[in-house]
Amino acid sequence: MINLFEVVETNEMITRENLDVRTITLGISLLDCMDSDLVKLKEKIYNKIYGAAKDLVKTGEEIAGEFGIPIVNKRISVTPMGLIGGTACKTVEDFASLAKTLDEVAKAVGVNFIGGYSALISKGMTAADELLIRSIPLALSQTERVCSSVNLGSTRTGINMDGVKLMGEIVRQTAEYTKEQDSLGCAKLVVFCNAPDDNPFMAGAFHGVSEADKVINVGVSGPGVVKNAVSKVRGENFEVLCETIKKTAFKVTRVGQLVAQEASRRLDVPFGIVDLSLAPTPAIGDSVADILCEMGLEYAGAPGSTAALALLNDQVKKGGVMASSYVGGLSGAFIPVSEDQGMIHAVEAGALSLEKLEAMTCVCSVGLDMIAIPGDTKASTISGIIADEMAIGMVNQKTTAVRIIPVIGKGVGETVEFGGLLGYAPIMPVNSFSCEEFVSRGGRIPAPIHSFKN
């Protein structure tokens, strides 16, 4: 039987170390909503999502109450809208009106984000995909809860450089369209290489076409818990350090697994995956950077940071895989800047640059995330940053992403405030040498060779 010590340990994790289930994300296929009539299409989308998700928030709150574990977000992901809206949408405005429908239904069921305003163009794009992409700035400026993502490459297909060039322009345009809110639209827009179909985390969640009609995916978190565990083995060797992280990740993931199964049972929706991610928030003590510091670095970004992050990411996966039979999504440590107090401190201290972050993304679970850059950064430079990150994902057979925010009207040294879970960020300098000719070549970068690994 459970003893007092174990009960106290669990409850300390929850109350003092910010252990939570970051999100229950309900994936909903909209493939059966397709219609060539825009009005009918919107009605079908609204009704399907509302019918599937009307009890999601209530159920999440009940589970949180009964197990005593906070479930921070309840969210929805849908089939990429580039596929769903293709036959009905003839203009950018048509597509943006679909985003409004998503926004309305998200508000009606009470979820804080809905993901899937997306296009998958890793090899090429259809006319509908392009139209959707061109509608992103308008869609994100007219909606509050819609998140958008575009998959630009994969290890099997290579990188769609036409898409990369276009997305550099779209990111800039989205920043312009939402400049009144410090270019907040860009915080809801992410580009991927090797995007997973079952990611529960925003802004990149969408419900892949290989998924069932409905599915429950759960994202766990707990950087504070890992940091606290690591602080108890100060000075010990790497074996002890790794063992500690692994055991902690196991415990954290088991909570996610329990919540996922309960949500699946109560909503009568199949359980998909648990995403084992250390997702920081701006709250004190909920930082991935602090774990790196606890391991022995002065600041995140100091030499040794990539090794420390690689170790952390691997041990989180090793512990988590033992705890849940179905692991998926992004699974690893997130290293966003604005959402992590320790990262913000590192940038302010001059310890962390965009280039070091790029190196760290080679071993973390995602990529350049929530990074504010000067508002006058050229679209081609943004495309260049995206291309670099996509190349890392393509060659290393991993998911990489870019979510950067060119803050219109602000420059290096200034700070931008997004509020809530998105936090605030100091604006980081960008290498200003040109890559215009490179990104303008057009076409694709071929898929890499899978032999002769060096």
Distance from C-alpha of 365 to C-alpha of 303, rounded to nearest angstrom: 20
Which position has the token pair 């998140």? 147
Binding part of the chain for another protein, among 63-71, 102-110, 119-127, 411-419 by CB under 8 A, reads: 63-71
**Binding flag, residue 18, another protein (CB under 8 A):** no
Token readout for 165 is 């060039």
In the complex, least distance from residue 248 CB atom to another protein, rounded to whole angstroms: 10
Q: Of residues 3, 210, 237, 451, which one binds another protein by CB under 8 A?
A: 3
Residue 434 makes contact with another protein by CB under 8 A:
no
Among 164, 170, 171, 258, binds another protein (CB under 8 A): 258
Interface with another protein (CB under 8 A), residue total 21
Give me the residues paired with residue 146 across strands: 114
Stretch that binds another protein, among 61-69, 138-146, 372-380, 439-447 (CB under 8 A): 61-69
Confirm if 333 and 312 have CB atoms less than 8 A apart: yes
- Confirm or reject binding of residue 419 to another protein (CB under 8 A): no
DSSP states of 220-282 as a string? E--HHHHHHHHHTTTT--HHHHHHHHHHHHHHHHHHHHHHHHHHHHHHT--EEEEEEEE---S
Q: SS3 for 118?
A: strand
Q: Per CB under 8 A, which region of 5-13, 150-158, 212-220, 349-357 contacts another protein?
A: 5-13
58 binds another protein (CB under 8 A): no
Of 72 and 422, which has the nearer Cβ to another protein?
72
> Any contact of residue 325 with another protein (CB under 8 A)?
no
Cβ(245)–Cβ(229) below 8 Å: yes
221 binds another protein (CB under 8 A): no
Nearer to another protein, 21 or 89 (CB): 21
Part in contact with another protein (CB under 8 A); list of ranges 62-70, 125-133, 264-272, 353-361:
62-70
Place of tokens 């296009």: 119
Binding mask 67-106 for another protein (x = CB under 8 A): xxx-------------------------------------
Q: What is the DSSP string of 305-362?
A: HHHHHHHHHHHHHHHHHHH-S-B-SS-EE---STT-HHHHHHHHTT---HHHHHHHTT
**In Å, what is the CA distance from 428 to each residue of 43, 251, 432, 434?**
43, 36, 12, 18
Pick between residue 40 and residue 265 the one whose CB is nearest to another protein.
265
Residue 39 binds another protein (CB under 8 A): no
User: What value does the CA radius of gyration of the chain take, rounded to a whole number of Å?
Assistant: 21
- Please report how close the Cβ of residue 400 comes to another protein at its closest, in angstroms: 32
Residue 422 gets which letter from DSSP?
G
What is the C-alpha separation between 388 and 12, in angstroms, rounded?
A: 42
* Stretch near another protein under the rule CB under 8 A, chosen from 3-11, 84-92, 207-215, 364-372: 3-11
Q: Shortest gap between Cβ of 3 and another protein (angstroms)?
A: 7
Residues 152-211 that bind another protein (CB under 8 A): none
Q: Is 246 in the site for another protein (CB under 8 A)?
A: no
Within residues 342-381, the interface with another protein by CB under 8 A covers none
Closer residue to another protein in complex, CB, 19/171:
19
220 vs 267, which CB is nearer to another protein? Answer: 220
Q: Is 8 in the site for another protein (CB under 8 A)?
A: yes
> Residue holding tokens 């209530």?
58
- Provide the token pair at 149: 């993502």
Helices 127-142 and 92-109 pack at an angle, to 10 degrees, of: 50
Q: Is residue 274 near another protein by the rule CB under 8 A?
A: no
The values of phi and psi at residue 377, to 5°, are -65, 135
Question: Would you say 9 or 298 has its CB closer to another protein?
Answer: 9
> Burial of 444 by CB count in 10 Å (0-12 exposed, 13-18 middle, 19+ buried)?
middle
CB-wise, 156 or 265, nearer to another protein?
265
- Minimum gap (Å) between residue 260 Cβ and another protein: 11
Secondary structure (3-state) at 72: strand
Query: What is the nearest approach in angstroms of another protein to the Cβ of residue 252?
Result: 8
DSSP structural state of residue 285? T
Collapsing DSSP to helix, strand or coil, 29 comes out as coil
Contact between 283 and 339 under an 8 Å Cβ cutoff? The reply is no
The verdict on 263 binding another protein (CB under 8 A) reads no
Q: Is 62 one of the binding residues for another protein (CB under 8 A)?
A: yes
Q: Which residues bind another protein (CB under 8 A)?
A: 1-4, 6-11, 62, 65-69, 251, 254-255, 257-258
